[in-house]
Structure 1
Amino acid sequence: MSDSKQADLPPVICIMGPTASGKTDLAFQLSDHLPCDIISVDSALVYKGFDIGSAKPTSEELAKYPHRLIDIIDPSESYSAADFCRDAKREIAEIRSRGRIPVLVGGTMMYFKSLLEGISPLPAANAEIRAAIEAEAEVSGWHHMHQLLAQVDPVAAERIHPNDPQRLIRALEVYRLTNKSMTELTQVKGETLDGKVLQFAISTTERAELHQRIELRYNIMLEQGFQAEVEQLMQRADLHENLPSVRCVGYRQMWQHLNGEFDFDEMVFRGVCATRQLAKRQLTWLRGWPNLTWLTTNDENNLQQVLQQLNYRG
């Protein structure tokens, strides 16, 4: 695309940050002030029926502030960064075609990174290959599968823990589909976004405050019926603990509790700890992120800072 055509495109606004930092509230404020449409960048919100435990906006909020890429797949299915990039680029193009501004909001940093830096040409998931890998693991164990990965992709094996079946399956699947390692393929980058992209990260100034917000939100989820939501999901014979959807933070701990692995109080403790660990990983990503403007949770000037950088006349 020529420089003049890129300059005519409405900008893309990215709102990133750790869980419970206030990303969604800022996106709502932007919607009140700009001709924009929100695109969710969250690996849990894509799943239908994963509502309370994922902190999905309420039906009332979604009616007022529609989000794209929410409730798009069944929890029995997988959804990769490549899937996200394909879908997000389609939505961004459609929003821009109407002269409106795409606002991408969420905390799945791999999705943001893949979209902004270009994603490697990795193959789509293959149900038959995945089933074969899982069947092999049932017989030989995941440590054996990790050893197999180390033989063909030692760099990935160093990065992936033997007790992480989701990522082990993907790395082995990529090799068996392409006869090339994931490490080799990820060194090749795809297309990036055209036009102006503004990137913001929002978080608290103190870690203790973020931890308090996480614990408060987790308890609110429990009050809203999170346990009943997971109990209903467990009625489905096709859902199990090793699926990417069930491994989402919060859902995994509740699932294990309902399976009798530990009591309610331990589930709450583990769920809050896992959410804090997620926030820590998100912040680690962001601290090394280029071209990023930091905002502070609950700062009344956040909206103004975004609008000033935007300098957009639609």
Structure 2
Amino acid sequence: METDRVKLRYRAVLIAGPTASGKSALAMAIAQRFGGTVVNTDSMQVYADLRVITARPTIVEEASVPHRLYGHVDGAVNYSAARYVADVTALLAELGDSGSLPVLVGGTGLYFKALTEGFSAIPPVPEPVREAFRARVQGLETAMLHAELAACDPAMAQRLRPSDRMRVMRALEVFEATGRSLASFQGARQPGPLDGLPLVKLFVSPEREEVRARIDRRFEVMMGQGALEEVAALRERRLDPLLPVMRAHGVPGLIAHLDGQLSLDDAIRKGQADTRAYAKRQVTWFRHQMEDWRAVAPESALDLALRELNAVA
């Protein structure tokens, strides 16, 4: 059978690309053709709070082919790459038992790299430590936090921009919890669950202007589908603004609108601009970090994937 040959030749299909590149539709087509399961590899689509504004597959799409690791995390959780790898490792074992081909799709390069090349085993920061630390530094300017990091962990301070509040906070939290530099954990890597396995790895790469136009159109569509109401419900939870779910593209601008700080048109423009900038960073990151991936235009991606998967081992 065609599906049996896929099992013998490849263990998984990996599909990456900038946001709004059409990679989710490609993943569904492959999963439908080969009896596969679409597996989320996007760091924002894991959150239950945000279906619309993160462009998660619709309920109808999820019903048409198996989807996993979408919307399975509460927004109050600071979901990490290490936890993602643990979730995928367990899922791969389950799919292997059932004979379903994993089709991993998303735009989070760090997740793909952790799966294929391994990851640093950074211990989780206990929640009481995180809460106490954030209460202590609330209101402090980022430059002051960077100076504090330079005093206790000069190695990490040298790596981070003084204006990068999120990463400076992360380094300080790890030091507070462990007494060790984050750099010391980053040096030791554990193998990823897909390391060394035969994989199809595709990077869907539309023309830049096409991606920009798609992003702008999609944001307007999401607004019509209830993105503002979704963000309003998230806002009512009063979560820590440093949590990943609070920084999803479009969320900060729409919250600013709900708080009376931006007009709705300005909030939409901000969401579109932030997403366009992110798409540009995704392309740059994959170009420099994932050189063994095959870049393919959206219109030819399915044909190429089918040829690869149908090739006799």
TM over 0.5: yes
8 Å CA contact 2:32, 2:65 repeated in 1: no
8 Å CA contact 2:51, 2:71 repeated in 1: no
In structure 2, what residue type is equivalent to 1:190? Q
Q: Give % identity.
A: 35
Q: Secondary structure of 2:99's partner? A: coil
* 1:304 Cα deviation from its structure 2 partner: 2.2
Q: Distance in 2 between matches of 1:254 and 1:159?
A: 32
Residue aligning to 1:222: 223
8 Å CA contact 2:26, 2:302 repeated in 1: yes
Residue aligning to 2:3: none
* 1:54 Cα deviation from its structure 2 partner: 0.5
8 Å CA contact 1:11, 1:102 repeated in 2: yes
* 1:196 Cα deviation from its structure 2 partner: 1.1
Deviations 1:46-99 (A, max 9, x none): 111201100011111111123211111111111001111110111112112222
In structure 2, what residue type is equivalent to 1:59? I
Q: Distance in 2 between matches of 1:106 and 1:117?
A: 17
Distance 1:8 1:65, change over 3 A: closer
Distance 1:44 1:305, change over 3 A: same
8 Å CA contact 1:10, 1:100 repeated in 2: no
8 Å CA contact 2:48, 2:71 repeated in 1: yes
Distance 1:209 1:29, change over 3 A: same
Q: Distance in 1 between matches of 2:198 and 2:135?
A: 47
Instruction: Tell me, yes or no, if structure 1 residue 40 matches structure 2 residue 47.
Output: no
* 1:312 Cα deviation from its structure 2 partner: 6.5
Q: Distance in 2 between matches of 1:38 and 1:152?
A: 44
In the superposition, the TM-score normalised over structure 2's length comes to 0.90
Instruction: Tell me, yes or no, if structure 1 residue 212 matches structure 2 residue 213.
Output: yes
Residue aligning to 1:97: 97
Q: Distance in 1 between matches of 2:127 and 2:311?
A: 45
- Name the stretch that deviates more: 114-123 or 148-157: 148-157
Q: Distance in 2 between matches of 1:154 and 1:307?
A: 50
Q: How does 1:24-173 map to 2 (within 5 A)?
A: 24-138=24-138, 140-173=140-173
* 1:244 Cα deviation from its structure 2 partner: 1.5
In the superposition, the TM-score normalised over structure 1's length comes to 0.90
Deviations 1:174-224 (A, max 9, x none): 2222322112211111012252122110021x2111110100001101111
Distance 1:154 1:279, change over 3 A: farther
> Which consecutive unaligned segments of at least 5 residues does structure 2 have?
1-6
Q: Distance in 1 between matches of 2:95 and 2:270?
A: 40
Q: Distance in 1 between matches of 2:310 and 2:184?
A: 41
In structure 2, what residue type is equivalent to 1:89? T
Residue aligning to 2:4: none
Distance 1:312 1:137, change over 3 A: farther
Distance 1:267 1:113, change over 3 A: same
* 1:233 Cα deviation from its structure 2 partner: 2.0
Q: Secondary structure of 1:198's partner? A: strand
Distance 1:67 1:231, change over 3 A: same
- Name the stretch that deviates more: 85-94 or 160-169: 160-169
Instruction: Tell me, yes or no, if structure 1 residue 306 matches structure 2 residue 305.
Output: yes
RMSD after superposition: 2.0
Deviations 1:94-116 (A, max 9, x none): 11222221111000111111111
